[in-house]
Structure 1
Amino acid sequence: MRSVRLFVHVAFALAILLLRPALALDALPSWNDGAAKQAIIAFVSRVTAEGGAEFVKPEDRIAVFDNDGTLWTEWPAYSQLFFALDRVKALAPKHPKWRKKQPFKAALENDFKTLAAGGEKTALRLVTATHAGNTPQEFQATVAQWLATAIHPFFKRRYDELVYQPMLELLSYLRANGFKTYIVSGGGSEFIRTFAERVYGVPPDMVIGSTIVTKFVVKDGEPMLLREPRVNFIDDKAGKPVGINEYLGRRPIAAFGNSDGDFEMLQWTTAGKGARFGLIVHHDDAQREAAYDRKSAVGRLNRGLDEAQARGWIVVSMKNDWKSVFPKPGP
C-alpha cells in the first residue's frame, strides 16, 4: 500500500512539472538566475495559466523581436552594411564611375570615417545601389553565398554564428509555450529571410523588415518580381508598430529590442490591455562583445534607458544576466 501511495505522489509531481510552462529543465540555461530571467518566466507563467486572470489565448500570444543588436551582433556596424560594402567591391567592375563617386569611393577604399559621417543617408544609398536589379530569389541566393563565406572583421567568425545564445533560447522557450515569434527589423526583409528560419527558427512569412520597391514584370514570357533601387518602407522607430499592424493586424503582447529604434515598438506593445512585456538588451559587455549605449553611432540607447523603469520594461545586462553571449564555435 505504501508503494502505491509513493507511486501516486511521484506521478502527481511529474504531472505538475510537465504542465508547467517549459521551465522544468531550465529552458534558459544561458541566462543567470536574476531578475530578468525571473521576470520572463513569471510573465510566461501568467499568460499560459488557463483560468488565470492574465491568461492569453494562443492566437494572441505574439512576441516581436528586433534583429540587429537584439538577436545578433550589430557592432561595430550592421551586418547588412558589411554585406553592402562587399557588394560594392564585387559590382565595381561594372560601375567604373564608382571609383570617383561617393559614397562608393569610400566603400572601395575602406574609408569608414567618410562612410560614418554620411550616416543613414549614405547607408541607404549603398543598400539601394547594391541590392536591386534582381529577383527576390536571386538576391537571397547572393546573401546566402555571402553568409557561407564572409568573416566578421572583428569577431573573426561567420556573421550567422554571431547570434546571441540567450536569445535563441528565449525564442524557443516562447514557442514551446504557444507564442508566435516575429522578427521586426530595420534591416531588409529579404536579407533576413535568407537565414531567419535556419538560424532563429522564424520562417520567412514571420519576418517584417524594411523593403525596396518591387515590381511585377514579364521577362521573356516569364512572370517575375524585380527589385528596384528605391526605398519602399523603412521599418524602424515609428515605422515598426505601423509595419506590425499592416502585416499582422494584431498588437503583440511582448516586444524585445536593444535601441531607441525599438522604442515605439515597445511603447505600442506594452500600452495594450492585459498582460504585457517589454525587454531591452543593454550592450554593456566590452569583454565578450561590446559596450555602447547613449552616444553610440550604432544601436543608440538613450531614451530607452531613461524611461524603461517607469514603463515597466526589463533592461537586460549582457554582462550580468547572460552566462554566455555567442554559441560555442562548431568543430
Structure 2
Amino acid sequence: MNDSSINRRTILASLLVSAATLSVSSRSARAQSDPLPSWNEGQPKKAILDFVTAVTKEGGPDFVPAPERIATFDNDGTLWCEQPMYVQLAFALDRVKALSAKHPEWKQKQPFKAVLDNDIAALAKAGEKGLVELVMATHAGMTTAEFEQLASEWIKTARHPKFNRPYTELVYQPMLELLGYLRTNGFKTFIVSGGGIEFMRPWSERVYGIPPEQVVGSSIKTQFKVDKDGPVLIRQPVIDLVDDGPGKPVGINSHIGRRPIAAFGNSDGDFQMLQWTTGARGRRLGLIVHHTDAEREYAYDRKSPFGKLDKGLDAASANGWVVVSMKDDWKRMFGFQ
C-alpha cells in the first residue's frame, strides 16, 4: 500500500469524524436554543415564543417592564394530572377513611357514606356542596402547621391509581419548560388554583419552582390563638375564598395586586381568569390545555365531572385564546416518559 492511499484514507476518516462532530454539535446547539423542547413545532409554540419576544423587547410597541410580567397558572389539569379525580379530593377521601372510626355517623351520612363505600358516582352527585363538606370535616380543627405536616406526608407516599407513581411525578414536562422559559425572561409565575392554598404551598417550590408566597388558592378562615406551645393559627370550618371561576380574578387581585399579562388553564373554572387577563389593553396571552391524549394520559372535555371544558372551548377563538392539543402539540407528557 503506497503513501497516497494511506493519506487518502486518513483524510477520509478525518472528514467523517468532522462531519459527525458537526452533526452532534448542531443538534446540541438546536436543543440548547429551543427553550421548549417538549413542544412540537406548531401554532401554540409559536404563539408563546412570539408573545415572550414581543413583551420583552425593549423599545418595542408591546414591551412590558419586568415587574408587570405576571403569569398565572391553574394547577389541576394545567400543571399536573387531575384525573380520575382532583388530587386534593383524593387526599380528603383518605382523611375521611382515617377519621371514620371517630365518626360512626358517617356510615349513613352523605357524602361521607359514598367515600366509605368507594361510590364515586354518588360522590360526584354530591357536587360542590358535598366536596366543601368533606373539606370542612377533614381539613379544619387543627393548626396550620399540623395541616401542613399532614399534607406533606400524604403527598410523599400517595400514588396515582393509573400510573402507580407519586402525584408529584405526574407534572407535565412541557409546562415545566414553559414556567422556566417565562422566569428566564423576567416573568413572575403564580399558581392560581381552585385547590386549597395550604395544600399546595408545602410542595409547590420543590415541584414547580414556585414559592409558597406565589400560590393563590381556595382557603378556609383561620384564627390566631396563643396556647401552651405559643402563638398558632387554627383552621376554622368556614370558607374564606373559593378560588375557582369568578373567584380567580378576585384571588389574583387580593393576593397579587397586579393584573396578569398571561394566563394558563384547562377548564371552565379558568374561564374568568382568562377573561380578566386578556381583556385588558396591551399584548396578552391566554392559553388552554386541552386533554386529547387518552394513550399517554386522558382524553376529556365537555362532559367530564373533573376539569370540564365546554364554555372555554367555544369561546377560545373569539377571545384569541390559544388551545393546546396535548396529543398533537406535546412531544412528551411527563418527565419519566
TM over 0.5: yes
Aligned residue among 203, 207, 216 for 1:199: 207
How far apart in 2 are the matches of 1:24 and 1:200? 21
- Percentage of pairs with the same residue: 63
Aligned residue among 232, 244, 252 for 1:236: 244
Structural mapping, 1:170-185, within 5 Å: 170-185=178-193
In structure 2, the residue matched to 1:57 is: 65
SS at match of 1:315: strand
How far apart in 1 are the matches of 2:88 and 2:49? 33
How far apart in 2 are the matches of 1:276 and 1:44? 10
How far apart in 1 are the matches of 2:220 and 2:303? 29
In structure 1, the residue matched to 2:138 is: 130
SS at match of 1:215: strand
Aligned residue among 144, 148, 153 for 1:140: 148
Q: Deviations over 1:95-133 (max 9, x none)?
A: 222222221121112111211111111111111110111
| Unaligned stretches of 5+ residues in structure 2 | 1-30
Aligned residue among 180, 203, 219 for 1:211: 219
Confirm or deny that 1:68 pairs with 2:76: yes
How far apart in 2 are the matches of 1:217 and 1:210? 22
Aligned residue among 320, 323, 331 for 1:323: 331
Q: Deviations over 1:302-328 (max 9, x none)?
A: 111111111111000000000111111
Q: TM-score, normalised by structure 2?
A: 0.89
Q: Deviations over 1:127-177 (max 9, x none)?
A: 111011111121111111111111111221111111111001100100000
In structure 2, the residue matched to 1:271 is: 279
How many residue pairs are counted as aligned between the two chains?
307
In structure 1, the residue matched to 2:35 is: 27
How far apart in 1 are the matches of 2:254 and 2:282? 22
Instruction: Report the AA paired with residue 98 of structure 2.
Output: A
| Unaligned stretches of 5+ residues in structure 1 | 1-22
Q: Which runs of 4+ in 1 moved over 3 A?
A: none
Instruction: Report the AA paired with residue 109 of structure 2.
Output: K
Instruction: Report the AA paired with residue 95 of structure 1.
Output: H
SS at match of 1:86: helix
Q: Root-mean-square deviation (CA), in Å?
A: 1.2
Aligned residue among 38, 63, 66 for 2:46: 38
Q: TM-score, normalised by structure 1?
A: 0.91
Instruction: Report the AA paired with residue 274 of structure 2.
Output: L
How far apart in 1 are the matches of 2:100 and 2:33? 53
Q: Deviations over 1:35-73 (max 9, x none)?
A: 111110000000011111111000000000000110011
Instruction: Report the AA paired with residue 215 of structure 2.
Output: V
Shift of 1:94: 2.0
- Choose 107-116 or 95-104, whichever is displaced more: 95-104
